Amino acid sequence: VSTQSTWAYTVREARHDDIESIVSITNEAFLADAFFKKPQYTSRITQEEAKKYIDDPNESFLLIVSTETQEVMGSVHVYYEPDKKLGHFGMVSVPNRFGKRGLGKLLVESAEQWCKSKNNGPVRMEVPVINERKDLFPWYFKQGYVDSGLVVPFEAPEILNDQYQIQLVVITKNIE
């Protein structure tokens, strides 16, 4: 006999009382990037940074929250550049215990829709992906993203170890 559990959840914008959960699950998820960083730089985000993003009208975190327990099951940082009509997201984070349930895909779709609503219509998404995270590219391509051909320097080279040449590959998608 197989049992299938159902998950009741909602997607919403983060509030200040979510900051601790955002920092915790984001830093847990980004331990996957530790292989190319110096040991003292394994954290991805601080509480101060999360608060700054939540307070900015063109940035936020979107959360998947259990309707039963109110536990944060996933988060994504999202931001919109009105002057360029560009949407961006990053720090897609789903704790391992909630993995393989489509929550990452839901976070990406929610980020796209958030940016589209900020633009009041179609928007172009640009997302930088670490070149050495080869496991991520097929997943994003499955979501409709394509390699733009643009490669940019990593924004904080001081945190990198010397074993890898880390760059950001920009992937894009037009959201109609």
CB 126 within 8 A of CB 147: no
Query: How far apart, in whole angstroms, are the C-alpha atoms of residue 91 and residue 59?
Result: 13
Looking up tokens 């063109």 gives: 58
26: which residues sit within 8 A by CB, 6+ positions away? Answer: 44, 45, 50, 75, 91, 93
Q: Can you tell me the mean pLDDT for 66-87?
A: 94
Q: What is the pTM of this model?
A: 0.91
- The proportion of the chain whose per-residue pLDDT surpasses 70, expressed as a percent, equals 97
Per-residue model confidence (pLDDT) at position 6: 61
Q: What is the pLDDT of residues 142-154, one digit of tens each?
A: 999 999 999 999 9
What sign has the CA pseudo-torsion 126, 132, 137, 140? negative
Q: What are the backbone dihedrals phi and psi of residue 100, each rounded to the nearest 5 degrees, phi first? A: 60, 30
Query: How far apart, in whole angstroms, are the C-alpha atoms of residue 113 and residue 91?
Result: 17
The DSSP code sequence of 92-104 is: EE--GGG-SSSHH
Q: What is the pLDDT of residues 103-135, one digit of tens each?
A: 999 999 999 999 999 988 899 999 999 999 999
Query: How far apart, in whole angstroms, are the C-alpha atoms of residue 43 and residue 106?
Result: 24
